[in-house]
A and B are shown apart, each in its own frame.
Chain A
């Protein structure tokens, strides 16, 4: 089945540690995105990538890093510099043309312990 897969579903991190969230898609989409969702709030854009080996900061990129070495993969690293990392992280992909919808993964819930 085609789709977008995030792993793990739940992730616990100790303060001061970096963690990497996985996002893989087999939809042959050029564009991929990472969003953060806090309780009672909408989605905020962290990073996005329109094409392999290129990515752009979104509205809340501080404390996060990404890579786009392969078309199908867009991992997100939450670094120790992110002061409030506990949140629900959503990855999405789209064809890359304007006026096409984004498809979302099922999310990773990150909790700092």
Chain B
């Protein structure tokens, strides 16, 4: 089956530092990945996505890196702010249809 998982369940960083959240996936046929941010009691919000024909994509303060060789992607948040505290999920799209498979999530805590 397909699965997407995260290496670490929790991450604490000092305000202003950079954060790196990692994710591994098992289905080599997945060709589209998304990072979501979920605040407590709310639905996930889209942060950034990347297609398999890319290995890096940058947004505002965020960068996603994709390493297809080892089936790994990461989310880098620059100059982490208290408002970045949330749970971050990676999701992989199924190559058989428009389904998304989510990892367990990493809880990011920013220390002021």
Interface bits B92-111 vs A (CB < 8 Å: 1, else 0): 01010111111111000000
Once bound together, how far apart are the Cα atoms of A33 and B89, in whole Å?
A: 17
Once bound together, how far apart are the Cα atoms of A3 and B9, in whole Å?
A: 30
Is B61 an interface residue, CB under 8 A from the partner? no
Given A90-B43, A104-B45, A107-B41; A42-B104 close (CB under 8 Å): yes
Q: For chains A and B in complex, what number of residue pairs have CB atoms within 8 angstroms?
A: 64
**Nearest A residue to B97 by beta-carbon distance?**
A50
**Nearest B residue to A58 by beta-carbon distance?**
B99
28 A/B residue pairs, CB under 8 Å, sorted by A = A6-B43, A31-B98, A33-B99, A33-B100, A40-B9, A40-B104, A42-B4, A42-B102, A42-B103, A43-B91, A45-B99, A45-B100, A48-B99, A50-B98, A90-B44, A92-B43, A94-B98, A98-B32, A98-B93, A98-B95, A98-B97, A99-B51, A100-B98, A101-B34, A101-B46, A103-B46, A104-B43, A104-B44
Interface residues of B (CB under 8 A from A): 4, 9, 31-32, 34, 36, 41-46, 49, 51, 89, 91, 93, 95, 97-105
